Amino acid sequence: MKIAIFHSIRTKIFASHLLLILVIIASLTYQHHKNEINNTVSMTTAFHQEAAIPLISDISTAISGGNYSNLLLPKFKTQLMNTPDLLYLKIVGRSDNRSIPIEVQFDREVCQVWRSHFPLNFQQNTKDRIERIQARLATNEGDIVKLNYLLNRAKEALNTFELSNQLEAKYHFDFDNNNELNTSYFDREKNILFLSLPTTNSAGGRVDMVYDISSIKKVEHVILFDALSELFVALAIALPALGLLSFHISAPLKSLSKCMKRDIKDIDTTKIPEQNRHDEIGELSTEFTHLIKKMAIHTKELEYLTRNDPLTGLLNRRSFNSLLAEIQVKNRSKYVAIMYVDIDHFKKYNDTYGHNLGDIALQKVAQVLNDNTVDENEKAFRVGGEEFVVTLNISNLEQAITRSEKIRKMVHELEIEHKTSPTEKVITISAGVCIYTKQDLLNTTIEDVVDYVDHVQYQAKHNGRNQIIICDKHISNQANHSNFA
């Protein structure tokens, strides 16, 4: 049962089309989801780029004048802290006048803005400067107040350098893959947006920024939910339609298949389903109808050839063997007369006139026999080369005599020339007739019937031919034999 289910055309159509629909809908859903995410990222990027314009302007002004102090003021740090979602910022540029390198970094996590570029040997030079100032202070040379101010500035510079190195080592974003101006990059795993924007000062520079866009995850979940909802809605619509389609295709095929399983004799070509359709199934039904009609014709021809003698059209010996019981069962008369007929001297006729004329003579004799089977249950058989059997439904002996004699006379009156016949100059027949009741036929075999009636027919030939001998042993108080010349 499982094999039949999984191999049915309806299941295959449903499964293949369902797979196709799933692939199409899933592809469209994925593409829609991807486009929505990309649009959201693009809009977020554009928003941050637009929001960064005032910040870029302030930074460009500071870089242009080589003014580190403006970039390290608490005010600037507050401005950066108030910039939505900004996690990190790095400023790289040169002053317009003296081309002084400017490099400043910001990290929200430590809430710090620091200088990240110093001249070569800055640390050692600063330490040497501190030592010189301290030496002068020790000797009380020069302006003590000024020296203390310079000493504090030098120490602050050294502290700034050391802090910068610490922060640089700990808080650093890699921009190696995104170091071109006017570029952006979205890291989906970290939910971070990298922006690199140019400064507007003459010497040039850039501002690299990192934004936290984890809020996109929430938007992505909403988009994914909407996409899956669309997928389920599409499937809810597609599945019934697909089921209807597969049924529309498979049901007619199943109906045709059921019709095809019947015996050809039981198929009514006017009731074969789907003949009025105008598609391939209709064509299949029409062709099947034509095939059944042809097969019915051929079947009838084969049945005819199986049951009938091809030369005379009479039933053959095989039919006689199978139909004798049926004849006696359906017989409405009291008795059945079985008449065994042989054409007299037919071999001499063939030798004299040839087989073609011999076949014609057989056909004419057969026609006489067939014409005398007036009841639907009466049959005429060709059981040998020139031997025939006729079954007649009778009520008494007189009917058997009258009807069998009529047959003999009609053959004689055909006047088919037979010059070499020792008895007559025309074709004649000799016949033996045996009369049976229904019960007689039930209690005997076909072989016994044929042997007995053939023996009676042989007596007719032995007695001079062109005569009928009737055996009445199954009808009491009747003459034993009746001979007619």
Among candidate residues 109, 189, 386, 424, the one labeled active-site is 386
d(CA 215, CA 238): 35
| Cα-Cα-Cα-Cα dihedral sign, residues 18, 22, 23, 25 | positive
The structure tokens listed for 46 are: 């554009």
H or E element, residue 471: strand 468-471
H or E stretch covering 162: helix 144-170
DSSP E strands in 262-414: the ranges are 315-316, 335-343, 380-382, 387-394
Pairing verdict, β 335-343 and 315-316:
unpaired
Taking the CA atoms of 475, 479, 480 and 482 in sequence, report the sign of the dihedral they define: negative
Q: Which residue has the tokens 């100059």?
A: 425
Q: In sequence order, what DSSP letters do the residues of 200-258 get, joined into one string? A: -STT-EEEEEEEE-THHHHHHHHHHHHHHHHHHHHHHHHHHHHHHHHHHHHHHHHHHHH
Active site residue 386: yes
Q: Report the largest interatomic distance among the alpha carbons of the chain, rounded to a whole angstrom.
A: 183
C-alpha triplet 317, 320, 325: angle, nearest 5°: 155
List the catalytic residues: 386
